[in-house]
Amino acid sequence: MIKQFTFNHFGVNCYVVYDEQSPECAIVDPGMEASYEDAQLFQFIERKNLKPTLLLLTHAHVDHICGVRQVAEKYGLPITMHCDGKKLLRQAEAYGGIMGFDVRNLDDIDTVHIDEGAELKVGTIKIECRFVPGHCEGSMCYVIPDEEAVITGDALFQGSIGRTDLPGGNYQQLIENLRTKVITLPDSYQVLPGHGELSTIGDEKKYNPFLS
């Protein structure tokens, strides 16, 4: 199962991936910036009697990580992400000040690095890791075959793609990665983006002007 939350003034989609056959769950892109948003996430986890075992990032832009400390400290979890995102993670405090996020330095939180082809487990649910830089360095998509879904972060949105004019962005690289690693998934797969409405692979093939 996958539960979606939308947090902070940038409207970041956070996802909880959980296994109904075990208590384990993964928290993807915790973007909480207020205590009431922390409460929404934590109360859902408590109500479902879940045990978070993964704190997973699609990428380390500050709007996607402003709730990392709360999750890491509450559940004793390291950050799991691609190693190319570590520079952005170090810069989170500085970028937060520019963009209106109160984020302290995260260097004291342990980090586990993953790469293309890594397979993670949440109970019996498999999460396949696909490296899709282009929006920024270290960007990952997470394919969840049991749910017929892919969490795309800011790489792919409904009818659009992530911006590539920020540091580390590369338009051609992003398009190539989406074409070879994401829209090759079955048409029925849900696209769970980092912002905005959900979509499907089939709809993105047909209607996304960057990919059709």
* 104-130 pLDDT tens trace: 888 899 999 999 999 999 999 999 999
The per-residue pLDDT for 40 is: 98
Structural domains of the chain, with CATH: 2-207 (3.60.15.10)
- For the chain, which residues score pLDDT lower than 70? none
HEC string of the chain? CEEEEEECCCCEEEEEEECCCCCEEEEECCCCCCHHHHHHHHHHHHHCCCEEEEEECCCCCHHHHCCHHHHHHHHCCCEEEEHHHHHHHHCHHHHHHHHCCCCCCCCCCCEEEECCCCEEEECCEEEEEEECCCCCCCCEEEEEHHHCEEEEECCEECCEECCCCCCCCCHHHHHHHHHHHCCCCCCCCEEEECECCCEEHHHHHHHCCCCC
